[in-house]
Amino acid sequence: MNKAEAATQSLKQQSAWLLGAKVIGFGFSFVLPLLIVRYLTQDEVGHYREAFQVIMNAIVILPLGFSMSSFYFLARETADRRGAAILNILLFNFVVGGIACVTLFLYPQLIGNIFKSAELTQLGPLIGVVIWIWVFSTFLETVAIANQEAKVATVFIVLAQFSKTLLMGSAVFLFATVESFIYAAMIQGLIQSCILFWYLKSRFPRFWTKFELGFFKDQMVYAIRSESRAFCGCFKTTYITISSDTNSLPQSMRSTLTVVSKYP
């Protein structure tokens, strides 16, 4: 078998492992909405959807594609530079997540005003904490794939979905409040962060000593250029969700969102 055939076979195997992980993960994630709809009131279901729509959009938009740059740099750089790339991503994700957390702690009404919900205003600081933790911890699945460890990534993906379903499902049965879901999300993110540190320490020894400012700038430029469309895509998703959940937005904001939603 030549190198090209071996590479093709390896890619097929990795794709199969990741596809299997996604299917299993979907199975776990499919259970949670059924429990939520069954045990929560209609208003609480709406608050849950809105809160986690904000969280999910934030963890996609805020990293600015920096985490995805690992696919480029881990495949091309030396061992020292690979460690530097990992450290750059962790620092960036930690900082942008922290900024979002502080912003929602100081101005929780930012979310409440969008959805015209006093409940979300009260939950704003907690939502900020979840965003901070998840922006940081969700790098776990990405780095395993970028490091070409499909089997390890499969385990991480399945465990992440299982732990989310278990913890948040427990919150449904025990408390049945949106606040309890958010605390469950915090716990899950902290557990995933611990696993992330363990994995990075085992694969990239002493990566925390590899910081290079020049390399950080290069990585930033690459990430922003590669992921400039992510913001528009998530903005579209937010528009669709907000439109389906509330008609109370100002006319000027509705017009802006409508224009943005026309573009891919």
Residues 205, 252, single domain; the answer is no
Residues 108, 170, single domain; the answer is yes
Residues 163, 253, single domain; the answer is no
Residues 194, 245, single domain; the answer is no
Residues 165, 212, single domain; the answer is yes
Indicate whether 6 belongs to any domain.
no
Task: Output the furthest CA–CA distance in the chain (Å, rounded).
Answer: 64
Residues 125, 233, single domain; the answer is no
242 contacts 114 by C-beta, under 8 angstroms: yes
Phi, psi of 202 (to 5 degrees): -80, -30
Query: Tens of pLDDT along the chain (264 residues)?
Result: 444 444 444 777 777 877 887 888 888 778 888 888 888 888 899 999 999 999 999 998 898 889 999 999 998 888 889 999 999 999 999 999 999 999 999 999 999 998 988 999 999 999 999 999 999 999 998 999 999 898 899 999 999 999 999 999 899 889 989 999 999 999 999 999 999 999 999 999 999 998 989 999 999 988 887 766 555 555 555 555 555 554 544 554 454 444 444 444
Q: What angle do CA 43, 48, 54 make, to 5 degrees?
A: 130
Q: What is the DSSP letter of 1?
A: -
Query: What distance in Å separates the CA atoms of residue 133 and residue 232, rounded to the nearest whole number?
Result: 23
| Overall pTM > 0.75 | yes
Query: What distance in Å separates the CA atoms of residue 163 and residue 133, rounded to the nearest whole number?
Result: 15
Print the domain residue range for 254.
Answer: 229-264
Indicate whether 2 belongs to any domain.
no
